[in-house]
Amino acid sequence: MTIQIGFYSHTIDFAGTWRSHERVAQEIEKDSRFKTYIFYCENIKNDRLEVCQKILQNTTFVPFKRSLEKTGPQQGYTPIETNFKDVCLNLGLDVLHFARTGYYEWPFNDRVSKLQIETNIFGQDDYSKYLDRSIAISKTVSEMKQRAVDAIISNPIPSPSNQFDKLQDLRSVYGFEKDDIVLGRIGRPANFHPIALLSFKEAQKTIPNLKYLIVAGCEQTKRFVEENQIKGVVFAPETNDDVWIEKFHKTINIFAHYRSDGETHGTAIAQALMYDIPVVSHYAVFNAQVETIGPGGLCAKTTQEYTDTLKQLAIMPESKRRSIGIKGHIHTEKRSGQEKIGKLLAEKYIEWLK
């Protein structure tokens, strides 16, 4: 008997939450025990939908309708009008796997499949009778929750593609010299923290060939760079191009992470480590970045410690710097390798359906 499994998050986009869910589906669709579906709302902006459809060629993409108007938190933010339940029931769905924050929320305020599973991103609690299993993406998330989790399973992180070694880096595109030490960060629309830029500016005083490539930097980041006259920072736009992202990783020497509220997993950090790139981050509100980095870098407690670590990494020989990244790669592969996570989840689905 084939298990009908659907994957859902509110948007199919560039963010780590969706891309991690997409990678789970990528592994599950290879397993002949499952038939995979992706649910998406037709009137919501899904800026990775076409990319996702090309990647998941053995998965059926199922559109549904919903109004943008919703109820309040007591009703789980339920759309005033939606055919989502009917769509799921018509498919005879066995499993619906939903990547979300974790609080009481539609569509898990109703029964739409035999087994309803959440991947809990931010450690909030849903005590609904319609939530059957809860997966935390890190030990940090599991400790944030009042309700016990059923499993701690990291977000899946892919290895470099088979084409990676043949790709050209982006140094000439952005005006970096061959001997420049390039820091990198894939940004967010918010959650800015100045620690990395302050440390970068200080480190430049003794390491003038230090540069910083920031992808999808928020307006606060750009304003901070301008107001503090920080030289050597280059901004690249947000992208859905997976090949370009590989070129980004081929360009940088150090992943210089910042985020005001920290991480509950840190997929961008883990991805950098998969490319043997050491990571510097900092303590914040949530600190799963410590788990994610492991031996592949440092999570600084102060701006001075962040600065000192950047300097040490920048001046050491490339081979030594990469050896730190390789330790992080091994750690990430064991903890979060995409194929490993996919197989683990497949067995959990079957176990929990019994």
Average pLDDT over residues 38-60: 96
Is residue 6 within 8 A of residue 95, CB to CB? The reply is yes
Q: Listing from the earlier edge strand, what are the strands of the sheet with 34-41?
A: 60-64, 34-41, 3-8, 95-100, 115-120, 133-136, 151-152
- Domain extent, residue 176, equals 164-336
Say if residue 344 is in the same domain as residue 305. no
Query: What pLDDT is recorded for position 187?
Result: 85
- CATH assignment of the domain containing 24: 3.40.50.11380
What the block records as the tokens of 252 is 């940088």
At 329, is the secondary structure helix, strand, or coil?
Answer: helix
Alpha carbon distance 192, 124 (integer Å) = 23
Say if residue 32 is in the same domain as residue 149. yes
When divided into structural domains, the chain yields a total of: 2
Say if residue 121 is in the same domain as residue 192. no
Alpha carbon distance 290, 335 (integer Å) = 13
Average pLDDT over residues 150-154: 98
Q: Please state, for a pLDDT cut of 70, what percent of the chain lies above it.
A: 100
| Mean pLDDT across the chain | 97
Average pLDDT over residues 85-114: 97
Residue 39 zone, left/alpha/beta (φ > 0; ψ -120 to 50; rest): beta
Q: CA dihedral in degrees (268, 274, 278, 284; nearest 10)?
A: 30
Say if residue 91 is in the same domain as residue 173. no
Is residue 302 within 8 A of residue 185, CB to CB? The reply is no
pLDDT of 1 higher than 90:
no
Say if residue 82 is in the same domain as residue 216. no
Average pLDDT over residues 183-196: 93
Average pLDDT over residues 312-320: 97
Average pLDDT over residues 211-219: 96
Alpha carbon distance 114, 101 (integer Å) = 22
Say if residue 129 is in the same domain as residue 246. no
**Bridge partners of residue 6, in order along the sequence:** 37, 96
Query: What pLDDT is recorded for position 60?
Result: 98
Average pLDDT over residues 332-352: 98
pLDDT of 338 higher than 90:
yes
What's the pLDDT tens digit per position in 284-308? Answer: 999 999 999 999 999 999 999 999 9
Alpha carbon distance 235, 221 (integer Å) = 10
CA 30 to chain centre: 22
pLDDT of 91 higher than 90:
yes
Query: What pLDDT is recorded for position 164?
Result: 97
Query: What pLDDT is recorded for position 144?
Result: 96
Say if residue 93 is in the same domain as residue 29. yes
Query: What pLDDT is recorded for position 233?
Result: 98
Say if residue 319 is in the same domain as residue 230. yes
Look up tokens 């892919």; give the residue.
158
What's the pLDDT tens digit per position in 110-131? Answer: 999 999 999 999 999 999 999 9
Say if residue 27 is in the same domain as residue 146. yes
Give me the helix-helix angle, 16-28 and 267-274, nearest 10°. Answer: 60
Report which of 73, 126, 79 is spatially closest to residue 100, judged by C-alpha positions. 126
What's the pLDDT tens digit per position in 223-277? Answer: 999 999 999 999 999 998 999 999 999 999 999 999 999 999 999 999 999 999 9
Say if residue 112 is in the same domain as residue 205. no
Q: Residue 198: which residues within 8 A CB-CB, separation 6 or more?
A: 303, 307
285-298: buried (b, 16+ CB within 10 Å) or exposed (e) per residue? Answer: ebbbbbbbbbebbb
Give the pLDDT band (50/70/90) at residue 330. very high
Question: How many Cα atoms occupy the beta-carbon half-sphere of 264 within 13 Å?
Answer: 22
Is residue 246 within 8 A of residue 164, CB to CB? The reply is yes
DSSP per residue, 67-89 = -S-B--GGGTS-BSSB-HHHHHH
Query: What pLDDT is recorded for position 188?
Result: 81
Query: What pLDDT is recorded for position 189?
Result: 84
pLDDT of 105 higher than 90:
yes
Is residue 252 within 8 A of residue 184, CB to CB? The reply is yes
Say if residue 203 is in the same domain as residue 118. no
Give the pLDDT band (50/70/90) at residue 149. very high
What the block records as the tokens of 240 is 């859905």
Q: Please state, for a pLDDT cut of 90, what percent of the chain lies above it.
A: 98
Alpha carbon distance 346, 143 (integer Å) = 25
Say if residue 176 is in the same domain as residue 109. no
- CATH assignment of the domain containing 199: 3.40.50.2000
Name the pTM for this structure: 0.95
